[in-house]
Amino acid sequence: MKNIGLIVVLVAILLLGGCGCSGYNNMVKLDQDVKGKWGNVQSEYQRRSDLIPNLVNTVKGAANFEQETLTKVIEARAKATQTTIDPTNLTPENIQKFQQAQGELSGALSRLLVTVEKYPELKANANFTALQSQLEGTENRIKVARNDFNGSVQGYNTAVKTFPNNIFANMFGFKEKGYFAADPGSDKTPTVDFGK
């Protein structure tokens, strides 16, 4: 009888140990996947940031272009490049700060591109057209990288929060990671008025 009790305890320990090792290894794998996807997000944002000086220099060449618009793009770019997150600290708050800085840059770029509409010589400039096309492609790549990142975070967060992984996650410091959220106001349909 004593041996059966000992065998049951040993089997329980082996099962828990096996689950723990398997769960831990899976969480490490998922954590590394999230970090890799975060690297892809940063790479795409860096690509956009690298295009901006060329875009600004091309636009500067236009006669009487609004300096304030260019200044806002340059300032937003500086702020966005200073806002970085260590991939080991992808908390919802840090993701939100990063997204806010990148959103300000997106807004400044949008205003710049709207302002360009007043300058036909710029719209006809081959360098500007090429840069605008590259910027549009980069925005699409950013969207894909953000979606891939969110998918990876979802898999990681699910693993960290489900039983019995949540026990080992708490023991080994695996914490829930943040997502990219929709930009504020994106849930509202824009108003289009052709009467003006």
Reported as half-sphere exposure (CB side, CA atoms, 13 A), residue 76 has a value of: 25
d(C-alpha 74, C-alpha 79), whole Å: 9
This prediction has a pTM of 0.81
**Better-scored residue on pLDDT, 168 or 96:** 96
Which pLDDT does position 183 carry in this prediction? 67
Residue ranges and CATH numbers for the domains of the chain are 32-172 (1.20.1270)
Tell me what pLDDT residue 137 has: 94
Per-residue pLDDT of 120-149, as tens digits, reads: 888 788 888 899 899 999 999 999 999 999
* Alpha carbons 164 and 142: distance in angstroms, whole number: 35
Q: What is the pLDDT of residues 49-88, one digit of tens each?
A: 999 999 888 888 775 677 888 889 999 999 999 999 999 8
**Which residues lie below 8 Å from residue 92, measured CB to CB, with a gap of 6+?**
176, 177, 178, 179
Cα→Cα distances 161→89, 139, 164, 168, Å: 18, 32, 9, 10
